[in-house]
Structure 1
């Protein structure tokens, strides 16, 4: 009896301890080093291992350094938590162990952000610690300043700058952290997508509704909803779900087109081309389209690129833009990536580095990190 009591006394604390901590192993099985990688761990798997987890009182610890690492509870627009997001560096062919345990979390600096900007004609703007973008809303539609594609706001700081720039209302001049000198006009700008019907790009109107699903600190996701329009005789509606991660030059863009046709719909991703010579890279086989723009005097050089995950029929360059053509089915999402960089941020400073970045990004997509929870 005494032996049984001792066994219970020994086992019970271990059981309780197991309920107050869990281990996450993240493995990089590829030959690529991963830097600033935002990684998602299914929340339901964490709860299976740690059912008593208090979302208001836990920390994520690097098992080697014993330091806290930044995290985010991702909802994807749901009331319940979908994923735990962490940002890590991980060398090729290596793994990292993280511990989830009780504790007061440090306050980490937000690295992503988005908002509706009604004070500037219904802009919707978003950014991370590398780059910023905006899409144009209904208040700008059919005005002199209207534009169809995605705009780029270049940055030379890791700080979030959107609110300060809109408050100054002087964002076409570099005040030490970057500016907006990117021109969109009646093109797809920095990687927007549109139907391509009867050999013509069928631009929609500007977005009509918006919805933020998550807003930092490591990942921001939102939706832009477009009213139906006539695309060369086909009535189409679109919802664009855009995600920007900390540390990334590219957005993840998931478009859902709804139309009354059983045949696949041709669509194109576009990047506006400048009048002066730049450096262009079209890789149909890998679905990568890259552009190193000509330098704009004191404003520097902007790089723009896109990566499609669906098969490419063709890529080409016309007078106005670089284009990549693929197909979508009715009410089935299509996912691609698009974004930009600025040489004055001093991270990517020439065309070769930019094209290498796009190639590396595409390889990361093909070799995702492997996550296990115990």
Structure 2
């Protein structure tokens, strides 16, 4: 019989003896009683979970009884932040979702707190990219999903943000980032979960690119297995067969399952991974030995005839997972799962850990029955949990992130640091309590501002608000921005408040990247950093001092003279089939020879990438003006966009340089060819020049597109779209 949560929490929070080190729960040091192990049938859900709890408690007892090493890189059986321990944390975190015993989640929280939610590898670029050091990120993602505490995931996200441009590189390189197959377990699921948590697809997209590079090198279609790394492509066992390491392929199996759990069901290319999973598992099924386990070297069973569990546990997990998620046939694979489960349990040691686990390494070696490893225990727990789920229906993919815990459960599963050693006696304890109360009362709480958390995903609007419509809105809550968008594009210009706060802001036009068909700018702006893609789009185009996506100025003496931010606005139509508004710009100088001011009308219907603009320029003299309508020279350092100028058709087409995090933007300006006076450029802008008479309105169009928005995938598609436009001047 299990104790209620509150009773267990109280037991764990109270040290049993004075010898328990500070910060260690007494119950962590005491393994659970050994349950009856069911091997002659499918265990019930309760029986399988009880075995997972038993092995997890044994691993916790082992870790909690040892001093924590200062350097964790080579730690093999201690609590650490390296991959050895992180593979156990993966399984333990899944167990903590279903177990009523809070010791596992308390221990995991203590681990994360000890390492301050950080990842190893800061000493060089290569180590910053090391997949092994990202494995602990699964724990941080889990705790964030359950706690919604921003600090639990911000260091991980910062590291992944640094990695994304390298993973998503467009130029192929001789060396791979994930050059060994183990990496496919360690890092890709963490990146996929970050996309699921933030609804920013860049992490998943970047990981997808490197995953495929790794597979191109290490996957053997002939043998339907993965080589460990490039060194083994030509190596042979004594029997002449290639060396395919059991645990190496186990890492891939476990990584694929977790990768697919977080990948959206409609992700382009998802079928590649589901097909690969089925193919790999089919081959693994063929190689199971009569005793239910798999040999350390998959094609050389006689070379390593003894039991080896670290690879076998992942194979049992993968088969059960595949059945549970409809990817593998139950009738075919369930007998193999049960046979493997029985074999694994024959290797559980008297102290509760999974024995016969090959030591850390990179290839098959001989294994002794007493050898254990946190990674093997983590794989066993994953297998036990999937076997528990075999008692239920097939589950859909992707798998949702765990929901937030109640405050009571968070409190019960979050160890608190002991009071300083100086807090002794009733008076000092009372003073300490008063101090802690003052800290809570006097500390600034960011939530009071009502701003969305930095890492929170964009929640879709209610169904009634997901309809297509064209909107325009003045946004004093965002420094007087004027926003407009339809079902395809989103733009903004800047108002008086920003002019006062951030000189030299100006009259350039901002273009937002958008992938949903409903308005999203208002909701995106509620986040402190709206330059992050949370699933619907973002603002990554940097207007700066440029004309952006079609702002204008007066071209005089080979220089562009521009206005500051708009001064007044009028919204004429919003929320329907078209958005219409107009703005005024205060007089600005053109050298010392004249002043110019402007009124501009904007019109954006549904179903187009182009905003119509009708500009009326006034001046303190009647001489003709040369107006330069510009597209900003924006892009990453050292990169060059594409610019196409067509005077006969009055068009200037821009295709931006690749932003590894966010993709490319396309921009275009369409003008009346009869007004074109030529082209020019300055340090910040490409310009198409028009001859304009003061006081006489003229019309032009500005358009934008994003290659990740769903309808303009590349430069050719953007040029074709611009070519089809039939503007009315």
* TM category, shorter: 0.5 to 0.7
Larger RCO (CA under 8 A, 6+ residues apart): 1
SS in structure 2 opposite 1:159?
coil
Question: Which of 485, 493, 499 is the equivalent residue of 1:135?
Answer: 493
Which has the larger displacement, 162-171 or 192-201? 162-171
Q: Report the CA distance between 1:110 and its aligned residue.
A: 4.4
Counterpart of 1:285?
A: 648
Question: Which of 680, 687, 700 is the equivalent residue of 1:323?
Answer: 687
Counterpart of 2:621?
A: 261
- Aligned equivalents of 1:134, 1:156: Cα separation in 2: 17
* Pairs aligned (count): 260
Contact 1:295 1:301 in 2 (8 A): yes
Provide TM-score, normalisation by structure 1.
0.66
- Aligned equivalents of 1:262, 1:272: Cα separation in 2: 29
From the superposition, tell whether residues 203 and 317 of structure 1 become closer, same or farther in structure 2 (CA, over 3 Å).
Answer: closer
User: Structure 2 stretches of 5 or more lacking a match?
Assistant: 1-464
Counterpart of 2:662?
A: 299
Q: Does 1:349 align with 2:713?
A: yes
- Aligned equivalents of 2:501, 2:519: Cα separation in 1: 29
Contact 2:584 2:599 in 1 (8 A): yes
Deviations 1:183-226 (A, max 9, x none): 11111111111111222111111100000111131101100111
Contact 2:468 2:517 in 1 (8 A): no
Contact 1:134 1:152 in 2 (8 A): yes
Question: Which of 561, 565, 570 is the equivalent residue of 1:202?
Answer: 561
Runs of 4+ aligned residues of structure 1 deviating over 6 Å after TM superposition are none
- Aligned equivalents of 1:270, 1:253: Cα separation in 2: 14
Q: Does 1:121 align with 2:483?
A: no
Deviations 1:88-118 (A, max 9, x none): xxxxxxxxxxxxxxxxxxx993410011111
Contact 1:127 1:244 in 2 (8 A): yes
Counterpart of 1:247?
A: 607
Q: Does 1:226 align with 2:585?
A: yes
Contact 1:147 1:184 in 2 (8 A): no
Please state which structure has a larger fraction of its residues in strand: 1
Which has the larger displacement, 195-204 or 244-253? 195-204
Q: Report the CA distance between 1:158 and its aligned residue.
A: 0.5
Q: Report the CA distance between 1:365 and its aligned residue.
A: 2.8
Structure label with greater radius of gyration: 2
Q: Report the CA distance between 1:142 and its aligned residue.
A: 5.1
Q: Does 1:160 align with 2:519?
A: yes
Contact 1:287 1:308 in 2 (8 A): yes
- Aligned equivalents of 1:327, 1:179: Cα separation in 2: 36
Superposition RMSD in Å: 2.1
User: Structure 1 stretches of 5 or more lacking a match?
Assistant: 1-106, 369-374
Deviations 1:44-102 (A, max 9, x none): xxxxxxxxxxxxxxxxxxxxxxxxxxxxxxxxxxxxxxxxxxxxxxxxxxxxxxxxxxx
Provide TM-score, normalisation by structure 2.
0.34
Contact 1:113 1:220 in 2 (8 A): yes
From the superposition, tell whether residues 350 and 149 of structure 1 become closer, same or farther in structure 2 (CA, over 3 Å).
Answer: same
- Aligned equivalents of 2:693, 2:564: Cα separation in 1: 21
Q: Report the CA distance between 1:167 and its aligned residue.
A: 2.2
Q: Report the CA distance between 1:143 and its aligned residue.
A: 3.8
SS in structure 1 opposite 2:488?
coil
Structural mapping, 1:1-374, within 5 Å: 109-141=467-499, 143-144=501-502, 146-232=505-591, 233-274=593-634, 275=637, 276-309=639-672, 310-361=674-725, 364-365=726-727
Contact 1:154 1:342 in 2 (8 A): yes
SS in structure 2 opposite 1:291?
strand
- Aligned equivalents of 2:478, 2:525: Cα separation in 1: 8
Q: Report the CA distance between 1:287 and its aligned residue.
A: 0.6
